Amino acid sequence: MASQKLQQGLVLGMSTLAFTICFMVWMMFAVLGVPIKELLQLNETQFGLLAATPVLTGSLIRLPLGMLTDRFGGRIVFFILMLVCVLPIYLISYATEYWQFLVLGLFVGLAGGSFSVGIAYVAKWFDKSTQGTAMGIFGAGNAGAAVTKFVAPAIIAAASWQMVPKVYSAIMFLTALAFWFLTYENKAHRVPSSVSLAEQLKTLKDPRVWRYCQYYSIVFGGYVALALWMTKYYVQEYGFTLQTAALLAAAFSLPGGVLRAIGGWMSDKWGAHSVTWWVMWVSWICLFLLSYPQTDFTVQTVNGPQTFHIGLSATLFTVLLFVMGIAFAFGKASVFKYISDEFPQRMGAVSGIVGLAGGLGGFVLPIMFGALVDLTGVRSSCFMLMYGVVWVSLIWMYLSEVRKTPVMGQGSSGPMASASDA
């Protein structure tokens, strides 16, 4: 019988690996969508819908999967979920019509629901003092968005876009088998069968849950949306090849995933509130700068007309994305630290609804990005939209928490008790 420490390590390590693969699959249209867009001659809105379709089912399924995890345990739910996704992934290689990609994308999107399974599964193996760090390490599986930007372009260059789903389906199947044989289940972590569905859901009436949904729709929903959008953005805005664009887009996706563990540690040390507050401000500043479109204007001077150009270079653009990716990574961890501190007995249900809200943000935003580009012709309009959303969230956070809670040097317990009544 393996020791408790070994079991914790294997559960955390294999869950993180499995989530990374699931997220890699979930974000596959970020790269795969570019050649499909050219093949089917899609407009920006149609591309946004194609990229976001897997995000829809991955979001809607999070709440029921979270409750199933509470009831039956994370190991069996995670394993079955991965197996269910294998065939739809493979079938994408044979799709030829737009509707076929959309339908298969809905089934592939189930992989995105793995987050609410894994976060509840992992959290219950650790005590409160280390839960933030453990959940942050697990959440680093978001780096699967960056992995797909390295792997998929290489497969496309070596073979064709049809080979990507075939390789991904094989990887998913092998990961599911490894997860099953190298993890453990503790029945004590399950919610008692006497707890009804209504009792599981009653915490959703708490206004704190909806506030955390709003925060997560930015730090996760915005992360997913931009991870799906940035490869194409680099191709069209700066004229890079698909391979170069995907590599540069990974400058946002990679820190937005792997640094989540540091965000968990910071939340354990300084509290979820302090970390989230500063994450919002950093994101607001970055989005303000990213929103400015490429602009040429002429000024009438005493020496005649002078033309000036204002716009972000590819280098400065990438640096700002990198900084915002770090902020989003910390924010994703801090939001779930709120949940583990305040809803320890309902982690599955509450993380499911918060994850659903974040995922829906990731579904709606790419479609809105595409619609805004079709309507305005301004590519940076995607950042303008997110700037407004973050601005609203900062105001809400100030009114509900900041006026009641010290921002520096306080844990999430104690002062948060008063803020939670807002």
Note whether residue 91 is domain-resident: yes
Beta bridge partners of 305: 300
Q: Are 17 and 140 contacting, i.e. CB atoms less than 8 angstroms apart?
A: no
Per-residue DSSP letters for 133-167? HHHHHHHGGGGHHHHHHHHHHHHHHHS-TTHHHHH
Structure tokens, 34:
């570019």
Question: For residue 194, is it within any domain?
Answer: no
pTM of the model: 0.76
Copy the structure tokens of residue 319: 């640096």
Cα 411 → chain centroid: 25
Q: Residue 100 belongs to what domain range?
A: 4-185+203-295+308-419
Query: Is the Cβ–Cβ distance between 26 and 43 less than 8 Å?
Result: no
Cα radius of gyration rounded to whole Å, the chain? 21
Long-range contacts of 403-410 (CB under 8 A, 24+ apart): 405/273, 407/273, 407/274, 407/277, 407/278, 408/270, 408/274, 409/270, 409/274, 410/270, 410/271, 410/273, 410/274
The helix, strand and coil proportions of the chain, stated in percent and rounded to the nearest 5, come to 80, 5, 15
pLDDT confidence of residue 109: 92
Q: Is residue 50 part of a domain?
A: yes
- Reduce the DSSP state of residue 298 to 3 states and report it: strand
The answer to whether 364 touches 45, Cβ cutoff 8 Å, is: no
- Residue 308 is predicted with a pLDDT of 87
Per residue, the 3-state secondary structure of 301-335, as one string, reads ECCEEEEEEECCCHHHHHHHHHHHHHHHHHHHHHH
Pairing mode of beta strands 304-310, 295-301: antiparallel
The rounded distance, in Å, linking the Cα atoms of 394 and 376 is 27
- The answer to whether residues 306 and 299 touch, using CB atoms and an 8 Å cutoff, is yes
Q: Is residue 269 part of a domain?
A: yes
Residues whose CB falls within 8 Å of the CB of residue 245, separated by 6 or more in sequence, listed in order? 230, 231, 232, 233, 234, 235, 238
**Residues of the chain predicted below pLDDT 50:** 194, 407-422
Q: Report yes or no: 221 and 331 within 8 Å, Cβ to Cβ.
A: no
Total domains in the fold of the chain: 1
Predicted local confidence at residue 155, as pLDDT: 94
> Residue 129 is inside which H or E element, if any?
helix 128-139
Q: Which residue has the tokens 């065939």?
A: 87
| Cβ contacts of 93 within 8 Å, gap of 6 or more | 162, 163, 164, 165, 166
CA 14 from centroid of its chain's CA atoms: 19
Within-domain flag for 220: yes
As a whole number of Å, the end-to-end CA separation of the chain is 47
CB atoms near residue 2 (< 10 Å): 10
Give the number of other Cβ atoms within 10 Å of residue 95's Cβ. Answer: 17
Q: Which two tokens stand for residue 16?
A: 């993180």
Q: What is the distance, to the nearest Å, from the Cα of residue 209 to the centroid of all Cα atoms in its chain?
A: 18
With respect to residue 301, please indicate whether it lies within any of the assigned structural domains: no
Q: Spell out a b/e string for 167-185, using b for 16 or more CB atoms within 10 Å of the CB, else e.
A: bbbebbbebbeebbeebbe
pLDDT of residue 271: 84
Is there a contact between 27 and 366 (Cβ–Cβ < 8 Å)?
no
**Other beta carbons within 10 Å of 408:** 9
CATH number at residue 352: 1.20.1250.20
Cβ–Cβ under 8 Å, residues 108 and 168: no
Asked if the structure places residue 126 within a domain, the reply is: yes
Is 198 within a domain? Answer: no
Structure confidence at residue 413 (pLDDT): 42
Whole-number Å distance between alpha carbons of 210 and 216:
10
Q: In this structure, what are the phi and psi dihedrals at residue 190, rounded to the nearest 5 degrees? A: -80, 150
